[in-house]
A and B are shown apart, each in its own frame.
Chain A
Amino acid sequence: MSRLLPLFGFLLLVGLFGFGIWWNTQHDQNEVPSPLINKPAPAFVLPLLDDPTRTVSKASLLGKPYLLNVFASWCFACGEEHPTLMAEGSQLGVMLLGYDYKDAPDDAKNWLREHGNPYRMVVADRPGRTAIDFGVYGAPESFLIDAKGVIRYKHIGPITPEVITKELKPAIAALQKESP
């Protein structure tokens, strides 16, 4: 029996490493889970992309849930995500708020003209200060914010049809259940 112990030890290690490899294929290792989930979204006041003289604030958006989608014209993965937002954005049941991150306004406008604009409104954060408050560290990122201004769900990386059916829709359904 104890002659077999080293073999068992070896098999245990193989199992551990195998689990590690499997585990790392199941999720994005670079993803940093946000500590802001189920916490109030940071207060913000940001100018509209189309009309910088007008601003949108957290307070002005209270009362209805919305999906804040961080994008930028320089962001490659946003181009991957965009067709999904164009196709399904209007059927989500929440307002889609574009958040143009560290972008030149003209580049962003051209980008939206070229690829289509799925957003009800687009706010611009050129210096990226508000994005730090949101814990944004890249684009695309998406925040589902409820009627009370609480962040309920965050997705890091492009939104795909799979993400919508598996994660976003259930999260939105949960919001609608509590405040019809």
Chain B
Amino acid sequence: MRRVFVIVTVALFALVFWRLIDAYSELQALRPLAQYYVVQGPIELGAPNIVTGILITYRGFDTLGEVAVLFMVAASVGLLLKSESTATATEAATEAEADDDSVPRRQPGEIVRTGMQVLLPMILTFGAYVIVNGHLSAGGGFQGGAIVASGAMLMLLARPGAALNVALLSVVESFAGVIYVMIGILGLVLAGGFLDARFLPRGEFGAFFSAGAIPLISALLGVKVGAELSVIIDRFRS
């Protein structure tokens, strides 16, 4: 009976989606807003990567909110998992039984350990590269931060006993957030509005130091996202 309902629901959704696909015709030219961003974005901001320009300047306030969401998730995951681990710790201490939770953690294999030593510097370097080149080519704070966090995850897999310095990461992350907001206020004072990146010189188009404050904001975002994701990964490990 339930299966029939499931099939009917999925079929109805498939119908909706099919009508959407059927009625969609591929764009032949840019929409007016996109037209403005593509034409004016590089001229106004001096950033070759238009997506980064939109994310960090035109929709910078959104990005700030997004980072706030990530922060709240890190906090709530910590809250959810912390009380659980203390509750089960007392429980496990009283029961002291050997169910599948309390078997000692299996040591990582040779390949993971050696691979970590070879790959970790490269992953972190690549993450830093992606973060600081966000205004020039594909990449940016979020993407680079995720790469850095994947490096942290590999490290935690290869060395299960290692403890991530969560307190330090939280401090780094908070400072990145504070500086991010202060740059936004600087934009409000010195340029056109909150998070306007044009208060620094635009520089030569396509050069590494160019596009106003966009690389700076990108780097801060990268630090913040990397630290937050690493903290989330570490919380899940415990």
A binds B: no
Binding site for A on B (CB under 8 A): none
